[in-house]
Chain A
């Protein structure tokens, strides 16, 4: 069994203006960082909200994911290189390394453990949590800080193209983190993830087996009609609504889990879908 020991939420719906995270980061942590961009600032803020006040073991691992990564810097470097025929700035080049943000989070928290940046189209959160779950179950790690970070960008066309979402989708930004351990003492909740993708029949079977009163949350890619169908499978389940509190970003499932744990008491199944296959995560803070 895997246990959640801390959660941190940073979730915003920017109003046509990039939030000034440099000031927020300074106010939150009391530290001034140079050479870090918006994406890295976002990562540090979310991680700090989760575990900034805790005394973590230096060997705590970091597993981080994102739907679109450091897309603002990526876009700037892309334009400089291919359109303006210029070299990118050194700091941009360094920050584009896949786990530069993880490095800065580790530095901020004084961590020296394993540091991974994982990407997966459509299931980035689930795949990252699956890797964390396996590492904890196999006792390869004692504690893992898992984060999902996605930044909002003023010109979202490229992001929408990369994410495969339609033009009308409103994008938000978030940095949501949780601390996972294999030990139960002082835990906030239990966590479990179905280790593979399910087909519709397997999903139905799973939903029929859950206890009455279980909340169901749906990933943003679910068509409304399918959500309605699934809610009919087990009428003892309740819908968990979070949609009004956020806009779309790929790592939203971490926000949903953390929001639930921060606001509700009970059991939540988070369902997500891609190409007809489902992934299911379960959190429970009943005890």
Chain B
């Protein structure tokens, strides 16, 4: 199943992001699947240190290793796109 159709995977990703970035005031339901995570619209107020934390979270919890910042910017955009990258089909 494509990642963006896998609700359980997307929930795990949201929980990972919330935990890694210590955004306890945010619930997984608050994070929209199609909103750019690093935009004002997400309401997460993430910064570059959060990006590094997410990078490590992806490696530890999902076995995904993104080698450079370009790869990160390409794949860690929205929850749907990140889920599709982790689980293409």
Contacts and interface: CB of A to CB of B under 8 A. Distances in A.
B60 A90 contact: no
A90 B49 contact: yes
Contacts, number: 20
Contacts of A89: 20, 52-53, 56
A100 to B, nearest CB: 13
A23 B53 CA distance: 23
Interface string A88-103: 0111001000000000
Interface residues of A, number: 9
A87 B22 contact: no
A91 B59 contact: no
Please report whether the interface of chain A is mostly helix, strand, loop or mixed according to DSSP: loop
Contact of A35 (B25, B49, B59, B60): B49
Contacts of A90: 49, 52-53, 56
B56 A35 contact: no
A268 B80 CA distance: 65
In the A-B complex, the 10 residue pairs with the smallest Cβ-Cβ separation, listed nearest first, are A90-B52, A34-B22, A89-B56, A90-B49, A90-B53, A91-B53, A89-B53, A35-B22, A91-B49, A90-B56
Interface in B27-76: 49, 52-53, 56, 59-60
Contacts of B25: 32
A28 interface: no
